[in-house]
Structure 1
Amino acid sequence: MNGIETAPDRDAWRNGFEARVLDGYRAAGCSEPLARALLERAVRGIEDWTVATDGTGWIAVEVTQDNGATVGRIHDLTVPRGREWAEQWCAERGAQRVEVRLTGGPGAFADYPVRGQNRMRAVVERPELPAGLTVRRLTEEECPGWYAREEAGYVADIVRAGALTPEQAKAKSDEDFARHLPQGYRTPGHAFYAMEVGGEVVGTGWVNHGFLPGVTFGFSLEVYEEHRGRGYGRSAMAVGAWATRQGGDEAMMLNVFGGNEVAMRLYDSTGFTVLDEYRSIDL
């Protein structure tokens, strides 16, 4: 198709690919150490990718197993009208869906539904908590209830994003929680908070300091459903900024699943820029 063939020499492609990825992260406001740390994550497994060219641009693809599904991934695409070739290549190898990770806008994948975004915002040196809101650490006795609520919400978010079945989402949840919290409540670098108004808990926060160079990751900044619609969402973002500085970091990163338009609007309004966007379609 269009004279596209497997590239005999990957060096020219890889150098250009890594430079483009770095430029995308720098444009999103990342420091140089953070941009390079994100690049390292972006190129994991690169030796297993198949690289093809038509002489004018590049395509990088792979097929792998993910949560019980055979998944195709398009890692790079600079060949005009090369998407059809990449999708066909994945389908021929049994892929049930095709995923892409994007920086700098959807480009040729605007019709792929958004499944998730990583966002980031720099934090001022001394952020203040909103008046009337107090923050304290979760007690160890509160953690089992918090964990059950977080897990149920995480599974629901994955399913709503449309990428996985409920069974696959539960398996991913179990794997992710075990990886991020191997020691549970006592896992080093993680902090768990209760947000209170008038002595009543209105939400919780879970952050990981030093997740990447200078970055605290907000795994969860949740306002309980019965307290939503009162402006506490913006308060939760302020808590995240405060916690980031408490941990000695300069920027906060978080993830939002596709389909969560309310959260995306909140992050837009509070200055979180998109670092990566994940999209996929079923084949």
Structure 2
Amino acid sequence: MTEVTVRAMSPEEFDDWQRQLVAGYAQEQVAAGNWPAEEALDRAREANAALLPQGMATPGMLFLIGETADGSPVGHLWIGLTHPRGVPGCAFLYDIEVAPERRGAGLGRALLAAGEAAARQRGARALELNVFGANERAASLYRTSGYRVVTQHMRKDLLA
């Protein structure tokens, strides 16, 4: 496995990432059937602002860029050191993404491991995340990286 290290995002990287994050989250919520398309972007912005009231300066948040040994960017991570539901000692992985041009080379697993190490170094004893049900590739990565299901939402469409 290629080794990946992480460093803090710069303010410019944070701003670029925020724009992409909001758009991607809105699309995921629409695809999952959670939000209507016409409201999705505004709802994603509101949800993000609620989690990051001070933006990049919000306490307890890690905004990280993953890099290979030669300094090539791999992707990014957003980790909250305080769990959103108050689970003691458990950090929360809000976002992880490997750059599209770097996918398929095992870098997702290395980026995840680097994020886990960063959380551990800051006192986390566990790391939790959510994954959309249709994202089987990500779910497989998490399962094979030692994650287990602790809660699960299920839905059945009741069409006439």
TM-score range, shorter chain: 0.7 to 0.9
The residue number in structure 1 matching 2:94 is 219
Q: Over residues 44-91 of structure 1, what are the superposed CA-to-partner deviations in whole Å (9 max), with x where a residue is unaligned?
A: xxxxxxxxxxxxxxxxxxxxxxxxxxxxxxxxxxxxxxxxxxxxxxxx
The residue number in structure 2 matching 1:257 is 132
The residue number in structure 2 matching 1:237 is 112
Counterpart pick for 1:277 among 146, 152, 158 = 152
In the alignment, the residues of structure 2 paired with residue 269 and residue 155 of structure 1 have an alpha-carbon distance, to the nearest angstrom, of 27
Q: Over residues 102-126 of structure 1, what are the superposed CA-to-partner deviations in whole Å (9 max), with x where a residue is unaligned?
A: xxxxxxxxxxxxxxxxxxxxxxxxx
Q: What letter corresponds to residue 79 of structure 2 in structure 1?
A: V
Q: Over residues 256-281 of structure 1, what are the superposed CA-to-partner deviations in whole Å (9 max), with x where a residue is unaligned?
A: 01211111111111111111111223
Post-superposition, which runs of at least 4 consecutive aligned residues in structure 1 deviate over 6 A? none
Q: What letter corresponds to residue 270 of structure 1 in structure 2?
A: S
Structure having the higher strand fraction is: 1
* SS of alignment partner, residue 150 of structure 2: strand
Is 2:43 aligned against 1:178?
no
Q: What letter corresponds to residue 107 of structure 2 in structure 1?
A: Y
In the alignment, the residues of structure 2 paired with residue 153 and residue 146 of structure 1 have an alpha-carbon distance, to the nearest angstrom, of 10
Extract unaligned runs of 5+ from structure 1.
1-129
Q: What letter corresponds to residue 171 of structure 1 in structure 2?
A: D
State the Cα RMSD in Å: 1.6
The residue number in structure 2 matching 1:204 is 76
* SS of alignment partner, residue 239 of structure 1: helix
Q: Over residues 162-193 of structure 1, what are the superposed CA-to-partner deviations in whole Å (9 max), with x where a residue is unaligned?
A: 33222243233122101110000000000111
TM, length-normalised to structure 2: 0.88
The structure with more radius of gyration: 1
In the alignment, the residues of structure 2 paired with residue 226 and residue 157 of structure 1 have an alpha-carbon distance, to the nearest angstrom, of 20
In the alignment, the residues of structure 1 paired with residue 126 and residue 45 of structure 2 have an alpha-carbon distance, to the nearest angstrom, of 28
Q: CA deviation at 1:131?
A: 5.2
TM, length-normalised to structure 1: 0.51
